[in-house]
Structures are given as C-alpha cells and as structure tokens.
Amino acid sequence: MTAPIRLLLADDHPVVRAGLRAVLETEPDLVIVAEAATAEEAVRLAAEQPVDVVLMDLQFGAGMNGSQATAEITARPGAPRVLVVTTYDSDADTLSAIEAGATGYLLKDAPPAELAAAVRDAAAGRTALAPAVADRLLHRMRTPATALSLREVQVLELVARGLANLDVARELHISQATVKSHLVHIYAKLGVDSRTAAVAAATGRGLIRR
C-alpha cells in the first residue's frame, strides 16, 4: 500500500483545526501528524515532524503571517508542500502566498472532497487552486497591461489602511519617490485619479481585502 500523506494543520482557531481534522481524518490516505496555532510554530513543526503537506492559514494575529511562514518552510531543501487554506481570496493574499512558495490555494468554504483532492494534488507537487483564485490569476495573465504587480498591490493595501506615502515607504523599505511612482502606475491601470478612488476600485475588483 502507498504510504499515507502526512499533514500539519496551521491555524490559530482551534475550531477550524478541529473541523479540518474531522474532514481529513475520514480519508484513509491522509493522516494528521501535528497542529500549530501560530505561524512560528508551523515553521518549527514543519522542520521537526515528518510532514508532506502543511495546510496553512494566512492570518495568525500578532507575529508572523502565513505567507511569511510559507516562505520559510519552502526555503528548506526537501521541504513539505504548503497548501494555503483561508477565507481571503484577494490578489494581495493570493499573490503573496504563491510568491512565497505555496503549491496550492484553497478557500475554507471548499467542499470536503475538493479539500482532500487539493491535499493529494499538493503532495504530488501539482498546483491546486480554488476556482475563484484560478479565474483571477488567468485574468491577470490575459490582461497584463492592467494587472497590478504584487508590489503595487502591497502599496495600495497600505494606502487603504490610511498610511501616508512616507509611512508606506518605511513599511516596504522603499523610497517615497518609488511609492509615488507605484501610485502613478496604479492610477493608470485602474483608470482613477486619486487614492480614494484607487482603493475603492481595487476593493471592488477583489485586488485588495475588503
């Protein structure tokens, strides 16, 4: 028989972890070997435990987030695959997770069969994407001239939080001139002429989190 796929559940909500466990433990080829309540703990356990796939949330409150943990986990030789399982489907979230090395990206409302299939795909090194996420990524590929880059999305997310250009520059470790340049490109791509309009347009299109 084929060895079972060993899983690490990383989510700061015990109820969510219990729900994932309840669904996945019904699958004979899947076994949960560890759980993590913080991103830091997920990084440590992924290095210490014999894990094939990490099911990673994106938000853990204070400290490291899921994308940062994904980057640390996948940077190691022979690292487990990371399947993001989250409630967020904005470009800001999906792009940062994929750039960090996530093999798949699934939403928490996915049916149990879809979740199990995504875990198997991730374990085999195949990409597993929620339909909404896949559609958005395809749209980005088909319309590159109007698609915001990851850095532009990051700038706009900080602007949406009310940060001034200087604060955005400090947060992203770039110059104010670079922030202004990104905003010029963002306005052009979104067809707007102000920070408020850019945030509204990006939110409406699902580019940044509502």
Report the pLDDT averaged over residues 99-126.
Answer: 94
Model pLDDT, residue 132: 83
Instruction: Judge contact between 125 and 81, C-beta under 8 A.
Output: yes
Name the average pLDDT for the chain. 92
Report the pLDDT averaged over residues 176-189.
Answer: 93
Model pLDDT, residue 58: 93
| CB crowding 72-109: b at 16 or more within 10 Å, else e | bbbeeeebbbbbbbbebbbbbbbbbbbebbbbbbbbee
Which of 44-48, 73-77, 100-104, 133-137 shows the lowest per-residue confidence on average (mean pLDDT)?
133-137
Q: What are phi and psi of 64, to 5 degrees?
A: -65, 145
- Decide if pLDDT at 37 tops 60: yes
Q: Residues in the chain, how many?
A: 210
What is the amino acid identity at position 117?
A
Q: What domains sit in the chain, N to C, each tagged with a CATH number? A: 5-141 (3.40.50.2300), 144-204 (1.10.10.10)
- Decide if pLDDT at 1 tops 70: no
* Residue 130 vs residue 55, higher pLDDT: 55
* Residue 88 vs residue 187, higher pLDDT: 187
Which of 66-70, 121-125, 139-143 shows the lowest per-residue confidence on average (mean pLDDT)?
139-143
